[in-house]
A and B are shown apart, each in its own frame.
Chain A
Amino acid sequence: MFYSIRHITRFRYSNPVRESVMELKMQPRSEGAQALRSFQIATNPRAQLYAYTDHFGNAVYHFNVLREHSELRIEAQSVIEVKEMIALPAAVDPLEWQRYNSLNLKAEHYDLMGPSEFARSSPELAKFAKEHDIEKPQGDTLTALKRLNAAIYEAFDYEPGVTQVHSPIEHALGSGRGVCQDFAHIMIAIARSWGVPARYVSGYLYHRRQDHDRSSEDATHAWVETYLPSYGWIGFDPTNNIMAGERHIRVAIGRDYADVPPTRGIFKGDAESELAVAVTVEPTTAPLRHEEFLRVARPMPSSDERNRPAELHYFQQQQQQQQ
């Protein structure tokens, strides 16, 4: 099936600013079950767009606006195709836990197994894990992760405005409320403490009434992917207590939010900036246009991607090479 996504970002400045530079991580990823069919970005004021691929394989666009402006508007439109996903078994082999002992696995996923800026341990996190009986995984890997997913869902209320974009997890832990970003960070931190490589996914969720999703419809969404040696990367959405599936549209992956903000910019001027975001995700029967989206240059393979087969995803059910 196809989705058409429209993501509008608008910055308003209290005084005119100039010489602004901005990076965007808005191009949906094209791998596994998800294929990008078209993508375009328009900015106002108009600017020349440049692009590169970062070390997580995310497409990053950037541009600058020299002249004075009081508002900056970015509109990204994409069409993606999602193929049918093969169902996972209800549980996996208990021996899956042993497979994390592989030195190669630890080497390859090093960055996703240790602490990162937002997803890291702390006394508050340890206390939280203990209180909710998720200090140690219980059962096989998949079952334990599902349990973790549910535990976080149940432990928190979804409430925007309590935490901010740069809030450490302690804010959510302390108040019992937060948004998808906080829940994802907490789940990642705990999964990593179990020795499971975990990464942050930013993207979109297609909302349908019948799903009763807690997350906001008119916004970007964040969830988690964890690595199972026999199945690849499996996605969990602790905000909505579901597995990541056909309604989840993947845009960027990283260690945590710091690696994947949809926009990041610098400007000159004595002004406060106010951000407004609007997202619409609609199913569509066919791509609106077959457009050449901007070709993104690929750098040399990073050390984490050497010799490695195409991105493993549970959709493909491939065994990772054992070396």
Chain B
Amino acid sequence: MLSRVADNLYWMSRYLERAEHTGRLLAVKLESMIEQTPAEAEASWSRVVIALSGEGFVPAATTDVFEITRALAFDQVNPSSLIASLRFARDNGRQVREQISTEMWNRLNRLYLKLAPTNLGMLWNDQPGHIFRETVEELHTLEGTTYSTLRHGEGWHLLQLGRYIERAQLISRLLDLHFGPASRSFAPPSYLDWLVLLRFCTAFEAYCKVYTANIRRERIAEFLLFDAEFPHSVRFAVERLTEALSRVAVGAPAHRRTACERLAGRLKASFDFGQIDELIGGSLDVFLANISAQCEQIHNAVYAAYIGYDAETVL
């Protein structure tokens, strides 16, 4: 597979995952405001803003929920906004139109074109979270379309790699904001905040099946970090990305593959043997910080090995 094409597929998938995450956070937050006082709502929005602020975006110092939502969702200048993520996904997809199926392209294209001209003001007074719900659903459908229509070859595995690296980083960031160093700038999460966190990760029902409706802080961390079967746990993402990595660039020289696979393997191993009780007591901070750092290392290694390599190093 051409390196350039691999690059586009990988990033298309990362941006789609990012868009879905953003959409879901916004939908959940807006829906949950009904249950909060304005003061409580304001406080918890700060977490969301940090969670969704990437590089290059300085959130305006405002507590106006409408403004916050608009900036995080529809501001084309904000490179981390929902619409920007979709735009980048679409741009990447367009470059590799030939590698993705027609159905995939049509869906992605239509979604962007439909969402781009949205006037949030007109929707604000009546179920503002609805538009984000719809977007998330549409992205789910896109995922299903991808699964069914794209041959599960190298291209498909690159999409998985991108999706799960992004997911691992996004979830661990959310966890950091509730458990880790970043959480210190906020008041400790209320009961509602824990519920909302689970909903951010579509985890509420799944959590209840495992732990019953007994919402406890340590169990939430355990679930979102270590549950091997829940799609939005960090462990799940790490295992999938490791598997995807093994199916990419199969023809590449062995030493290049080893470099990437070793990093992924190490990250996976830390989940195989991690114990939440140990971490909660002491090194959870370090553990969470490590996840993000190691994901970044894997990303860089993939680039160096398969995509942006110096031509001369391969001859």
Q: Do A and B bind each other?
A: yes
Instruction: List B contacts of A66 (CB < 8 A).
Output: 310-312, 315
Residues of B within 8 A of A67 (CB): 310, 312-313
Contacts of B311 in A (CB 8 A): 18-19, 66
6 pairs across A/B with beta carbons < 8 Å? A18-B310, A66-B311, A66-B312, A67-B310, A67-B312, A68-B310
Closest to A66 in B: B312
Tell me the complex Cα distance, A320–B312, Å.
Answer: 52
Residues on A with C-beta less than 8 A from B310 are 18, 66-68
- Chain A residues packing against B (C-beta within 8 Å): 18-19, 66-68
The docked-state distance in angstroms from the alpha carbon of A210 to that of B290 is 76
For A68, list chain B residues within 8 Å (CB): 310
CB neighbors of A among B297-315 (8 A): 310-313, 315
In the complex, what's the smallest C-beta–C-beta distance from A15 to chain B, in angstroms? 15
- CA–CA, A66 and B309, complex, Å: 11
How close is B129's CB to chain A, nearest CB, in angstroms? 45
Question: In the complex, A66 Cα to B311 Cα: how many Å?
Answer: 6
Q: Return A43 CB to nearest CB of chain B, in Å.
A: 15
Cα of A68 to Cα of B310 in the assembled complex, Å: 8
**Chain B residues near A (Cβ < 8 Å):** 310-313, 315
For B312, what are the chain A residues with a Cβ–Cβ distance below 8 Å?
18, 66-67
Cβ contacts under 8 Å, A19 to chain B = 311
Minimum distance in angstroms from B313 CB to a CB of chain A = 8
A110–B146 Cα gap in the complex (Å)? 62
Q: How far is the CA of A244 from the CA of B315 in the complex (A)?
A: 48
Extra contacts besides A18-B310, A66-B311, A66-B315 (9): CB < 8 Å: A18-B311, A18-B312, A19-B311, A66-B310, A66-B312, A67-B310, A67-B312, A67-B313, A68-B310
Bound complex: CA of A18 vs CA of B312, how far in Å?
Answer: 9
**Whole-angstrom distance between the Cβ of B312 and the nearest chain A Cβ:** 3
Closest to A65 in B: B312
Please give me the residue from chain A that is nearest to B313 by CB atom. Answer: A67
Measured CA separation A67–B313 after assembly (Å): 8
Report the separation of the CA atoms of residues A68 and B311 in the bound assembly, to the nearest whole angstrom: 10
CB distance from B315 to the nearest CB of A (A): 7
Residue of A nearest to B314 (CB): A66
For the complex, give the distance between the alpha carbons of A218 and B312 in Å: 35
Residue in B closest to A268 when the chains form the complex, CB atoms? B311
Bound complex: CA of A67 vs CA of B314, how far in Å?
11
Return chain B residues, CB-CB under 8 Å to A18.
310-312
Closest to A18 in B: B310
Query: B315 to chain A: which residues have CB within 8 Å?
Result: 66
Cα A68 to Cα B308 with chains together (Å): 13
Provide the bound-state CA to CA distance between A291 and B310, in Å: 36
**Closest partner residue, chain A, to B310 (CB atom):** A67
Q: A269 → chain B, closest Cβ, in Å?
A: 12
**A67→B312 CA distance, assembly (Å):** 5
Q: Report the Cα distance A283→B315, complex, angstroms.
A: 43
Residues of A near B313 (CB, < 8 A) are 67
Q: How far is the CB of B56 from chain A (nearest CB, A)?
A: 20
B113 to chain A: closest CB distance in Å? 34
| Chain A to chain B: the 8 pairs with minimum beta-carbon distance, closest first | A66-B312, A67-B312, A66-B311, A67-B310, A19-B311, A18-B310, A68-B310, A66-B310
Q: How far is A68 from B312 in the complex, measured between Cα atoms in Å?
A: 9
Closest approach, in angstroms, between the C-beta of B134 and any C-beta of chain A? 42
How distant is B223 from chain A, measured CB to nearest CB, in Å?
Answer: 47
Cα A18 to Cα B310 in complex, Å, equals 8
Chain B, residue nearest A45 (CB): B312
Q: Tell me the bound Cα distance from A67 to B61 in angstroms.
A: 47
**Chain A residue at minimum C-beta to C-beta distance from B312:** A66
Chain B residue nearest to A67 (CB atoms) is B312
Q: Which residue of A lies closest to B311 (CB)?
A: A66
Q: How far is the CA of A68 from the CA of B315 in the complex (A)?
A: 15
Alpha-carbon gap, A162 to B315, bound state (A): 45
Bound complex: CA A67 to CA B315 (Å): 11
Most buried by B among A18, A19, A66, A68: A66
Min C-beta distance of A68 to chain B, whole Å: 7
> CA A148 – CA B312 in complex, angstroms?
52
**In the complex, what's the smallest C-beta–C-beta distance from B174 to chain A, in angstroms?**
37
Q: Least Cβ distance of A27 to chain B in Å?
A: 27
- Give A160 to B267 CA distance when docked, in angstroms: 62
Closest Cβ neighbor of B315 among chain A residues: A66
Q: How far is the CA of A79 from the CA of B71 in the complex (A)?
A: 72
Residue of B whose beta carbon sits closest to that of A19: B311
Complexed CA–CA distance, A67 and B311 (Å)? 7
Q: Tell me, in angstroms, the Cα distance from A19 to B310 when the chains sit together.
A: 9
Alpha-carbon separation in the docked complex, A18 to B313 (Å): 12
Query: How far in angstroms is the closest Cβ of chain A from B155?
Result: 26
